[in-house]
C-alpha cells in the first residue's frame, strides 16, 4: 500500500503562494488549516482546508448555499382581479 504525505506537507507551499499574492498567512487558526488576510479596504480573507485527495464528498463543502430567491429577485407585486379588470398596472 502506498503511503501519502500528510496534509501538513502542503502548508509551506500554500503559505508561500498566498504571501506572494500579498497575504499574511498563518496555519492552524481556529481549526482551519490556513487562514490568510490581505490588508486593504476592505481586507480580503482566505480560509483554506488542505487535502491530499479529492472526492465528490468534499464538493458541497466548497459551494456556498443558494441565496434565497427573494433576495436575488424581488417578488412580483400582487395584482387583484379588480385591478386587472380596471386596467391598473402596478410598478
Q: Is residue 75 in some structural domain? A: no
Q: Is residue 45 in some structural domain? A: yes
Q: Is residue 3 in some structural domain? A: yes
Q: Is residue 40 in some structural domain? A: yes
Q: Is residue 22 in some structural domain? A: yes
pLDDT of residue 26: 94
Q: Is residue 66 in some structural domain? A: no
pLDDT of residue 63: 66
Which H or E run contains 71?
Answer: helix 69-72
Q: Is residue 10 in some structural domain? A: yes
- Per-residue pLDDT tens over the stretch 39-82: 888 888 999 888 888 777 777 766 666 655 545 555 556 656 66
CA atoms within 13 A on the CB side of 1: 3
- Here the cell at position 47 is 480560509
pLDDT of residue 5: 74
Q: Is residue 73 in some structural domain? A: no
- Give the rounded percent of residues in the chain with a pLDDT score beyond 90: 30
Question: C-alpha angle 25/28/31, rounded to 5°?
Answer: 125
pLDDT of residue 51: 85
> In terms of residue numbers, what domain contains 3?
1-52
Which H or E run contains 39?
Answer: none
Q: How many domains does the chain have?
A: 1
Amino acid at each position: 500500500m502506498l503511503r501519502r504525505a500528510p496534509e501538513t506537507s502542503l502548508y509551506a507551499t500554500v503559505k508561500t503562494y498566498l504571501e506572494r499574492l500579498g497575504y499574511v498567512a498563518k496555519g492552524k487558526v481556529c481549526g482551519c488549516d490556513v487562514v490568510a488576510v490581505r490588508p486593504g479596504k476592505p481586507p480580503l480573507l482566505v480560509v483554506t482546508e488542505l487535502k491530499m485527495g479529492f472526492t465528490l464528498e468534499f464538493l458541497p463543502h466548497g459551494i456556498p448555499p443558494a441565496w434565497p430567491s427573494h433576495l436575488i429577485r424581488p417578488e412580483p407585486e400582487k395584482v387583484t382581479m379588480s385591478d386587472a379588470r380596471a386596467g391598473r398596472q402596478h410598478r
